Amino acid sequence: MSKGLILPRIIGHRGACGYAPENTLESIKTAAEMGVKWVEIDVMLTKDMVPVIFHDDTLERTTNGAGNMADTLYKDLVDLDAGSWFSDGFATSKIPTLEEAIDVILKYDLGLNLEIKPTAGREVATAEAALDILSRIWDDPDKLLISSFQHVSLETAKDMAPEWKRGMLIDEPLKNWQELAEYLDVATINIDGRDQSLTREAVEAYIETGRGVLAYTINDPMRARTLFSWGVDGVFTDVPDMIEGVVTRH
């Protein structure tokens, strides 16, 4: 892996969200108990600028709340049920703060891919708030990757914490991807591995830049096998146990 970053072949997506509600402490713990070495989680800001672990702009899909995360005060999130949508057994799951999530990640000695997931207009603020917390808690740059689709957020990360590795998320082919990767000085290029138009040649072009290539979100062992054969370094997955067999055989 490039630039000193050593990533495992499998990264738990939003914890291990095939088995526990995504982006919760329970999902992170489940990933660790399954033997996952790294997890990926999403961070965004509440109305009062508290970094919390959450994916969607709105609350409805994964909680019993309603409205936009960016319009909701942290105190109004604390008692929301963030697990019953997944199963009744997770009715006590809550939306964690970034600090709470990091505490669990450190307890289990996991690596972290933190995706900065800002709402529109908060690209800089989300990165600044998240990195400010990380700078006070996280001390191992070799087990941390900061990623985002938002280039302004990665630029902010580069300025605030240049020693922390960055990953550029791509959801569709970008003509200027190489120029952006150079400018943002990213260690990895994180691609949509489910995209059936993705080719071996495209993956090889990413690899030729000397950067790591990570693919999301791969829950099909056959697809994982193909991607690894093309040279992808690792995959994000909801179901780490299903992909583990591919890695072992590969």
CATH number of residue 92's parent domain: 3.20.20.190
CA 117 to chain centre: 9
Both ends of the chain: CA-CA distance in Å?
A: 17
Domain that holds residue 227: 2-249
pLDDT digits (tens, 9 = 90+) for 116-132: 999 999 999 999 999 99
- Tell me the C-alpha to C-alpha distance, in Å, between residue 101 and each of 7, 14, 250: 20, 11, 32
Judged against a pLDDT cut of 50, whether residue 1 lies above it is answered with no
- Which pLDDT score is estimated for 34? 96
pTM tops 0.95, yes or no? yes
- Tell me the C-alpha to C-alpha distance, in Å, between residue 140 and each of 42, 45, 144: 19, 24, 7
CB 46 within 8 A of CB 77: yes
Q: Hey, how many other C-beta atoms are within 10 angstroms of the C-beta on 27?
A: 32
- Which pLDDT score is estimated for 248? 73
Geometric angle at alpha carbon 70, from 66 and 75, rounded to 5°: 70
Domain count, the chain: 1
pLDDT digits (tens, 9 = 90+) for 38-55: 999 999 999 999 999 999
| Model confidence band, residue 140 (pLDDT cutoffs 50, 70, 90) | very high
Catalytic residue numbers read 13, 55
Among candidates 22, 23, 7, 16, which has minimal Cα distance to 100?
A: 23
Measured CA to CA, the distance from residue 116 to residue 52 in angstroms comes to 11
CB 49 within 8 A of CB 125: yes
